Structure 1
Amino acid sequence: MPPAVRFGVNYTPSEGWFHHWLDFDLDSVRADLDSIAALGVDHVRVFALWPYFQPNRTLIRPRAVEQLIALADAAAERGLDVNVDGLQGHLSSFDFLPAWTRTWHRRNLFTDPAVVDGQAAYLRTLAAALADRPNFIGMTLGNEINQFSAGPHPDPDPATAPQIEAWLTRMLAACEEGAPGRLHLHAEYDATWYQSDQPFTPAQAARLGAVTAVHSWVFNGTAQRYGRTSVPTEHHGAYLVELSKAWAGQPHRPVWLQEVGAPAPLVPAEHAAAFTEATIKAVLDCPDLWGITWWCSHDVSRTLADFPELEYGLGLLGSDRRAKDTAAVLAAAARAAHPAPAPRTTALVVPADPALRGRLAPGGPVFEAFFRLAADGARPTTVLDERAADAEHLRARSITEVVTAGQVLPAPRPGALA
Structure 2
Amino acid sequence: MTHRPHRTAPRFGVNYTPSQGWFHHWLDFDLDDVRADLDSVAALGLDHVRVFPLWPLFQPNRTLIRPRAVEQLGLLVDAAGERGLDVAVDGLQGHLSSFDFLPAWTRTWHRRNLFTDPEVLDGQSAYLRTLAAALADRPNFLGMTVGNEINQFSGDPHPDPDRISPDEAAAWLRRMLDACEEGAPGRFHLHAEYDAAWYQDDHPFTPAQAARIGGATAVHSWVFNGTAQRHGPDSVAVAQHAAYLIELSKAWATDPRRPVWLQEVGAPAPHIAPDRAAGFTRTTVAAALDCPDLWGITWWCSHDVDRSLADFPELEYSLGLLTTDRRVKPAGRALADAVAEARATAPAPAPRGTALVLDLPEEAPKRSSCAPGGAYFEAFMRLAADGARPAVVLAARAADPAYLAARGITELVTLDDLGTAGGTAGSGSGTGAAPR
Shorter-chain TM-score bucket reads over 0.9
Q: Which moved more, 1:78-87 or 1:382-391?
A: 382-391
Structure-to-structure mapping, 1:4-43, within 5 angstroms: 4-43=9-48
Question: Partner of 1:75 in structure 2?
Answer: 80
SS in 2 for 1:356: coil
TM-aligned CA deviation for residue 409 of structure 1: 3.8
CA-to-aligned-CA distance 1:201-221 (integer Å, 9 cap, x gap): 000000000000000000000
The letter of the residue matching 2:356 is L
Q: 1:255 aligns with which of 249, 256, 260?
A: 260
TM-aligned CA deviation for residue 154 of structure 1: 0.3
The letter of the residue matching 1:208 is I
SS in 2 for 1:48: coil
CA-to-aligned-CA distance 1:98-151 (integer Å, 9 cap, x gap): 000000000000000100110000000000000000000000000000100010
TM-score normalized by the length of structure 1? 0.98
**C-alpha distance in structure 2 between counterparts of 1:5 and 1:76, whole Å:** 19
**C-alpha distance in structure 2 between counterparts of 1:412 and 1:242, whole Å:** 23
Structure-to-structure mapping, 1:107-186, within 5 angstroms: 107-186=112-191
Q: Are 1:220 and 2:225 counterparts?
A: yes
Q: 2:323 aligns with which of 297, 318, 324?
A: 318
CA contact (8 A) 1:126 1:178 kept: yes
Q: Which runs of 4+ in 1 moved over 3 A?
A: 409-413
Question: Partner of 2:413 in structure 1?
Answer: 403
SS in 2 for 1:183: coil
Question: Partner of 1:286 in structure 2?
Answer: 291
The letter of the residue matching 1:300 is V
Q: 2:308 aligns with which of 303, 310, 315?
A: 303
TM-aligned CA deviation for residue 408 of structure 1: 1.9
Question: Partner of 2:273 in structure 1?
Answer: 268
**C-alpha distance in structure 2 between counterparts of 1:359 and 1:27, whole Å:** 48
CA contact (8 A) 1:150 1:197 kept: no
Larger relative contact order (CA 8 Å, sep ≥ 6)? 2
TM-score normalized by the length of structure 2? 0.94
SS in 1 for 2:53: strand
CA contact (8 A) 1:369 1:409 kept: no
The letter of the residue matching 1:341 is P
CA contact (8 A) 1:259 1:295 kept: yes
SS in 2 for 1:119: helix
Q: Are 1:362 and 2:362 counterparts?
A: no
The letter of the residue matching 2:380 is F
**C-alpha distance in structure 2 between counterparts of 1:355 and 1:412, whole Å:** 19
Q: Are 1:340 and 2:348 counterparts?
A: yes
The letter of the residue matching 2:352 is R
TM-aligned CA deviation for residue 2 of structure 1: 5.3
TM-aligned CA deviation for residue 411 of structure 1: 7.3
The letter of the residue matching 1:362 is P
**C-alpha distance in structure 2 between counterparts of 1:270 and 1:232, whole Å:** 19
CA-to-aligned-CA distance 1:378-417 (integer Å, 9 cap, x gap): 100101111111111111111111111221245769xx99
Question: Partner of 1:377 in structure 2?
Answer: 387
Question: Partner of 2:3 in structure 1?
Answer: none
The sequence identity of aligned pairs, in percent, is 72
CA contact (8 A) 1:373 1:408 kept: no
RMSD: 1.4
**C-alpha distance in structure 2 between counterparts of 1:71 and 1:334, whole Å:** 24
Q: 1:207 aligns with which of 201, 205, 212?
A: 212
SS in 1 for 2:220: strand
CA-to-aligned-CA distance 1:319-371 (integer Å, 9 cap, x gap): 11100010111111222222100000111111135222011000111101111
**C-alpha distance in structure 1 between counterparts of 2:96 and 2:401, whole Å:** 43
Gaps of 5+ in 2: 1-5, 427-436
Gaps of 5+ in 1: none
**C-alpha distance in structure 2 between counterparts of 1:15 and 1:334, whole Å:** 26
**C-alpha distance in structure 2 between counterparts of 1:417 and 1:85, whole Å:** 35
CA-to-aligned-CA distance 1:138-188 (integer Å, 9 cap, x gap): 000000001000100000010000001000000000000000000000000
**C-alpha distance in structure 1 between counterparts of 2:425 and 2:180, whole Å:** 48
Question: Partner of 1:60 in structure 2?
Answer: 65
CA contact (8 A) 2:375 2:420 kept: no
Question: Partner of 2:400 in structure 1?
Answer: 390
**C-alpha distance in structure 1 between counterparts of 2:189 and 2:48, whole Å:** 15
Q: Which moved more, 1:404-413 or 1:291-300?
A: 404-413
